[in-house]
A and B are shown apart, each in its own frame.
Chain A
Amino acid sequence: MFRSTRSRKAPAALASILAIPLTLTACGGSDSGSDSGGTATLRVLDYYSNEPGRTVWQKALEACASQAGATISREAVPGATLIQKVLQQASSKTLPDLLMLDNPDLQQIAQTGALTPLDTFGLKADGFAKGVVDASTYQGKLYGLQPVTNTIGLFYNTDILTKAGVTPPTTWEELKTAARKLTSGSQYGLAFSAPANYEGTWQFLPFMWSNGGDEKNIATPETAQALQLWVDLMKAGSVSKSALNWTQADVNDQFRAGKAAMMVNGPWQFPVLDADKALHYAVVKIPAPAAGRPIVAPLGGETWTVPQTGNKDKQAKAAKVVACLNSDESQVNLAKQNQTIPTRTALLASFSSANPNVKGFADQIPTARSRTGELGADWPKAATKIYTAFQSALTGQADPAKALEQAQNG
């Protein structure tokens, strides 16, 4: 096995030295050595490159692979480079047997034709949260299964709120009042992340969607009201202007350092926050536009796909691994270890009662939406319009309605 891999790599190395795109053809035929019968080695590509996620996923993948009668050879690259890597592999026909994708990227990659519909292997997404399935579906076909998801909620510093006599806000009005009351000296009432990229769009979505805004056309009064909320919060001084340049990790640093009493963030920040024993915090749902209205939060997390490698045997085995990762037991296990939430709705109630810290997030999952559910592969264009608009409004270039209209018209 090892020898055959090496002999296949030799011409590839030679070709790359010659700097001629021959590498592509040299690697293209690498499926010839499929080992029917014995254990196959599945190539896995994902972006869980940091601990503790790296080890958690390694164990889960190994366990599922051995059930499917295979071993894995895994490559975990940094998040930002995954798509470029996938595109390179797609053009050189060296896609892995098992590929993890961030859920809003799935439809774009499925559109290229590089992925195999999972119904070919008899996989179905019955019992999964609707938003999660939407993200993994392209033109009516299921291309990925996502074992765990996440979303964003409102974190608050319990010590600061208790001291100020403020209860966690549940509506926009309460949010504005609470944020103003909690702002004093170098401490801001609220922190969110509003940079000119998809991270900023992701943070704006729960406000926009919960108020009835829609990405198909953002020049609507509903979206303008949501943007007005952000503008008001910043104008009142309750949110630092630095939010325009903050990543969610920066927001978390501000919260952790006590510079912000509340923040909009996700459960992946738990390990960082929990490392600080002096910090006491809790999480509630994102405040709603008015009392009693449902929250529509965006769904995060990664979906597992089976690329078109041409090797039927390995594809079938990879599909088995995907099914195994998505079993009830595996979902709960992965969610618990990665501070995320299972995607099968039947598991949500028991999971959030066993893990109270994620309750604020888990409660939002059944009504949550995926970013690509509506626009599919056109989502990146809409996401760009959204952040263009809120950056323009937050910097005072235009009022919310005008900013949204300008962005919508490009």
Chain B
Amino acid sequence: MAEYEPPPGSVPPDRVGRWQSRRGQDRLAQLLFLAPAVIYMLAFFGYPVVKNFLMALQTYSTSTFYTGEAPWAGLANYRAVITSSVFSKALLNTVLFTAGSILGQFVIGLGLAVFFRRRFPLNGLLRSLLLIPWLIPLIVSGAVWRWILDKDNGALNRFLAAIHLAPGHPGWLTSTSLALLAVIMVNIWIGIPFNLTILYGGLQDIPEDLYEAATLDGASGRQRFRYVTWPLLRPVVSVVLVLGVVYTIKVLDVILGLTNGGPANASQTIATQSYHLSFVQFDFGQGAALGNILIAISLVFAVIYLRANRRAVDE
């Protein structure tokens, strides 16, 4: 804003005729340019968030839709969802699901991105094939994965049995100890293209001559990655990770399609439990309360991201 300050000693414009003055017109133009974005934000972000916040404080049931009446419930909805026996399990699952998915997606995505930086035949074709998980509708890939992971006749178990790795036919989707692992594996598969694409884009921005210089200085491949690639890729990495967390923490379709949160809540996360409360049990108040808790957790990550970024800038 500093450049809009009047130079020292100049006469400030008349306050009454502000809108007539040149500066007033500029201000009006600025506001008009801002207006579409502000209205859009209020209608599509502000309204739902406020509505969701209010809904969590009300007894919001099917009747509300017809009568419009939602009795005030105070914090009863929050109390109900937090004291429910599923909550601690769902919270732990959410943490494990998010951490596991992000770790897997990022490591594999980065590895592939570095790999595809080399020039070799069919590079472009292979890279576009890797986008396939992103392109297939989740309902379709979910159904295919359900079939692959089936206990008795699934492709994975047949393969494992054929190479004598797991002759016992593990129940990927039906055992309480494996279900969460299975949905994490599928979510990693879905997330790799996103990580690969963004990280590959970041790698393209690193000038080639830096690597040449490093090579001339006698840096090994590992050192080139450690001292050239990684520092220059860091801004992209933090974007990928934060977006990844925000996308992953709210994942619903993958889990609903594969296990529906089961067996015995083994793969229930806060997102699926919130969906279940709102759209299966029609307790929209409790569903909204759980949804708000999820938003709060996401906000924590947003703050961590902002602080980490500021520190990076300070450095």
Residues of chain A having any CB pair with chain B under 8 Å:
19-20, 83-84, 87-88, 90-91, 108-109, 111-114, 186, 195-198, 240-245, 259, 380-381, 384, 388, 391-392, 394-397, 406, 410
| Chain B residues within an 8 Å CB radius of A113 | 63, 66-67
CB distance from B303 to the nearest CB of A (A): 30
Decide: B68 and A91 in contact? CB cutoff 8 A.
yes
Q: List 23 A-B contacts (CB under 8 A).
A: A83-B282, A84-B279, A91-B68, A109-B62, A112-B66, A113-B63, A113-B67, A114-B66, A195-B260, A240-B151, A242-B150, A242-B171, A242-B173, A243-B174, A244-B171, A380-B280, A380-B282, A384-B280, A384-B281, A391-B265, A394-B264, A397-B176, A410-B84
Residues of chain B having any CB pair with chain A under 8 Å:
43-44, 62-63, 65-68, 84-85, 146, 150-153, 171, 173-176, 259-266, 279-282
Decide: A90 and B263 in contact? CB cutoff 8 A.
no
Decide: B68 and A244 in contact? CB cutoff 8 A.
no
Report the Cα distance A108→B262, complex, angstroms. Answer: 26
Question: Which applies to chain A's interface (DSSP): helix, strand, loop or mixed?
Answer: helix
| Chain B residues within an 8 Å CB radius of A20 | 43
Decide: B62 and A245 in contact? CB cutoff 8 A.
no
Most buried by A among B44, B151, B174: B174
CB distance from B286 to the nearest CB of A (A): 11
Given known A-B contacts A108-B62, A109-B62, A242-B151, A406 and B85 have beta carbons under 8 A apart: yes
CB distance from B233 to the nearest CB of A (A): 39
Report the Cα distance A195→B258, complex, angstroms. Answer: 11
**Chain B, residue nearest A109 (CB):** B62
Query: What 20 additional pairs, Cβ within 8 angstroms, besides A197-B280, A245-B146, A397-B264?
Result: A90-B65, A108-B282, A112-B65, A186-B153, A195-B262, A196-B259, A196-B260, A242-B151, A242-B152, A242-B171, A242-B174, A243-B174, A245-B173, A245-B260, A380-B280, A381-B281, A388-B265, A395-B266, A396-B176, A410-B85
**Chain A, residue nearest B86 (CB):** A388
One of A109, A244, A406, A410 near B262 (C-beta < 8 A): A244
| Chain A residues within an 8 Å CB radius of B150 | 242
Decide: B67 and A391 in contact? CB cutoff 8 A.
no
Report the Cα distance A380→B84, complex, angstroms. Answer: 16
Given known A-B contacts A241-B171, A384-B281, A112 and B63 have beta carbons under 8 A apart: yes
Report the Cα distance A381→B84, complex, angstroms. Answer: 13
| Chain B residues within an 8 Å CB radius of A88 | 65
CB distance from A186 to the nearest CB of B (A): 7
Decide: B174 and A241 in contact? CB cutoff 8 A.
yes
Decide: A91 and B263 in contact? CB cutoff 8 A.
no
| Chain A residues within an 8 Å CB radius of B173 | 242, 244-245
Given known A-B contacts A195-B260, A245-B262, A380-B281, A240 and B62 have beta carbons under 8 A apart: no
CB distance from A150 to the nearest CB of B (A): 22
Decide: B280 and A391 in contact? CB cutoff 8 A.
no
Report the Cα distance A394→B44, complex, angstroms. Answer: 44
CB distance from A198 to the nearest CB of B (A): 8
Decide: B174 and A244 in contact? CB cutoff 8 A.
yes
Report the Cα distance A195→B63, complex, angstroms. Answer: 29
Report the Cα distance A109→B282, complex, angstroms. Answer: 11
Report the Cα distance A188→B24, complex, angstroms. Answer: 81
| Chain B residues within an 8 Å CB radius of A259 | 152-153
**Chain A, residue nearest B173 (CB):** A245
